[in-house]
Structure 1
């Protein structure tokens, strides 16, 4: 017996959701525990360099298992055509139309939409990773030609994408009618406080991160240093220069420090001079 595990994450034009991949992981772990030889087919767009459906000839397998997601459409039907000689089983799937050839092509279907079966992803083991908030500054025209925002953000986001962490895009801009943004600064600081660390090119990304007790990997997008560098100096916090945005070793070291050290409270500025100025001008 040799099994090919498939799902929507196997198709070139499919998609890989967290639930899809966890269901495949759960099925693979169960087969391994049972001593059943198996391979997993991945979409080349999701996991290049692994086994893809064209690399899994039908004659190499006795069974094909399809996990998670809805059973419908031409891509699922193509599995029946390609692996016609194999016994085909669908497990933990949704069945919107039991008469669909994509469904009837399976020899056995174990649905998850019968109201009695829990989703397969619940059976998969998971490991917790760090949660990294990312706050990027918009183009700041006041810096003219010194602004390096595009190239800094390109290098920085490529580095972030390479990390084994959960990434959360954050925006300091507030909006009352846009549910994707915070409506008050209190909400934003509360959101930031849930992060393990921040990566930012924005002054208030640095300031509010430290205010929330969250360490910050700060990169100034302005050549020669702009307001982010000046504020980092005032707060006694390190900042990387624009030309160092592509230095992954430096960024890795900064992030490691952020994830392993406590954040000292930032200094609280005094407004006494402002109050005195106003009082003296009465």
Structure 2
């Protein structure tokens, strides 16, 4: 296993940030690590990198015990933190040379230090800006510098906390392709609030809330279900007991006075059933919208 987390908990004084979190990942996996603000994502990532210690539990990276051998584990981890700390008064190549000296990459990989730096600059699309000081770069390009530093020592595991922050739509596509390419030979765990990025890049999703894992599934499994969501507004307010009469209802929510957000589990299109229901109960439908059961919908359902 490239990543193995066993019953990890983290308590800050009286607040439990993580509650017996467990998951594992093999080489070649790209995992979207999702959750609302304060769910414990960044805490888990810092524990994986050995930056902080858990209150209990075990963590292994490439079969290395992170708690017992943090420095050894860090040699095989590439970590991009959320706020991407950079020495902005350095030139891009100067900064990457500094990072390369820390990891002693000339002895760790086949390429020379200079060759590896140029390879990483090209991979993240920094070639045209590599002659500049970091403080002269846009936020998007500064994010690329952080990504270049993250992959510089050719790590086996990449832990990326909000890696697409500050990127424009074109840059998003480029970094998305980079992550997919890296995921072919590495294990990638990344956190983001952009669900479209997860659907475009990941093969698996872990969703946590209040320090607990709610969902850990392959993305294909989440997409293959037969649930459909319909938002309907009637001409006056009705009670829950009436909604329960609809066939194949698995959940419902009264968003506004007359508007209901109803989830059905059926291969059949449920809109005609709602029309029949309205007619039978003397209701008029003011609006009717159907939504695909996508990751954003699922995230809303389990985290609200």
Question: Normalized against structure 1, the TM-score is what?
Answer: 0.28
- By relative contact order (CA 8 Å, sep 6+), the higher-ranking structure is 2
- Select the structure of larger CA radius of gyration: 1
Q: Higher strand fraction: Structure 1 or Structure 2? A: 2
Q: Higher helix fraction: Structure 1 or Structure 2? A: 1
Question: Normalized against structure 2, the TM-score is what?
Answer: 0.27
